[in-house]
């Protein structure tokens, strides 16, 4: 599960980098909505996921 989350984060980061390259995107804006801030947030999220211990407990979705 952790590997899937990390892979998805990596794909989103790759997509954002491709968007920045394909469009002359002004990255000088430091608002929390610019792509550089999003990349930073995703990198921090990835680090948190990597540092989490693997939870072996499975949840039965039928019981939820």
Full-model pTM: 0.58
Longest Cα pair distance anywhere in the chain, in angstroms?
Answer: 50
Is the pLDDT reported for residue 14 higher than 80?
Answer: yes
Q: Look up residue 15 and give its two tokens.
A: 């997509």
pLDDT at 15 over 60: yes
Q: Residue 42 contacts by C-beta under 8 Å, 6 or more apart in sequence?
A: 9, 12, 13, 16
- pLDDT for 3: 87
pLDDT of residue 33: 59
**Average pLDDT of 24-44?**
72
The per-residue pLDDT for 10 is 93
């Amino acid at each position: 599960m952790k590997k899937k989350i990390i892979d998805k984060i990596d794909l989103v980061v790759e997509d954002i980098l491709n968007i920045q390259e394909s469009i002359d995107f002004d990255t000088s804006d430091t608002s929390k909505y610019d792509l550089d801030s999003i990349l930073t947030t995703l990198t921090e999220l990835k680090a948190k996921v990597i540092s989490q211990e693997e939870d072996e407990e499975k949840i039965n979705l039928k019981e939820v």
